[in-house]
Amino acid sequence: MDVIPAIDLLDGKCVRLYQGDYSQSQVFDDDPVAVARQWVEDGATRLHLVDLDGAKAGHPVNLAAIRAIVQAVNVPIEVGGGLRDRTSVASLLATGVRWAILGTVAVEQPDLVAQLCGEFPGRVIVGIDARNGKVATKGWLETSEVLATDLSDRMAKLGAAAIIYTDIHRDGTLQGPNLPALREIASVVNIPVIASGGVSSITDLLSLLALEPQGVTGAIVGRAIYTGDVSLKEAVRAVGQGRWQDIPPDFGSSALA
């Protein structure tokens, strides 16, 4: 399972939001390129970038910062935020980004998702962000009536390379991931599921590792590594040394119930 550090970009700076609330943002670093280099030095083999300005505006805003990060590190990068048309996706992928993450258009323009999956095979990930099991759109500013499980199933069938599932109520809270929801999403798709939101400890990561045989292949970690609650070096080592076969059957059972 990959431990994937998150770099959220707002006004060109590295920030974290609380439960997706733009009014509750905390700046962690003015230099996202330096942050990216640090995470790779600490063992990250993949990075997760979110253009928060882009998600709000409906089109990419922080392309210069994203391009600089791509040029500064030698690991694959996935990027989401404001990708709502073909031109935006093509421009982003042209920077050298490995995967484009589609969110709002998965709900509003599924035909576009199908088109992009066909044009850029293996390079389109669908990000499904949910409140109480229902999909949020437009930078988490709106909540639809679409169930996360139904959308996951549909996007997998359209050719998405993976699903990133974020529980908004857990994001930025350090309360732990929503394991039951992740297990449910993984049960309806046959593509990798990446967990996002709430990771607060290495124990949380090991709980996610226990879901690896069900299809949870990665964990995005944000606030916890910025606050020091989780050492990225130690997390990468723990997950790399651990195997889901070695985890006791009752590990995390209370959270999974």
Residues carrying an active site annotation: 8, 129
Beta bridge partners of 102: 126
The set of residues, in sequence order, having a beta carbon less than 8 Å from that of 113 and lying 6+ positions away, is: 102, 105, 106, 124, 126, 155, 158, 160
Amino acid at 64: A
Determine the residue type at 13.
K
Rounded Cα distance between 160 and 42, Å, is 29
**H helix or E strand, kind and range, residue 236:** helix 232-241
For residues 17 and 52, the answer to whether their CB atoms sit within 8 Å is yes
8 Å CB contact between 218 and 4: yes
SS3 content of the chain, % helix, strand, coil (to 5): 40, 30, 30
| CB proximity list for 240: less than 8 A, separation 6 or greater | none
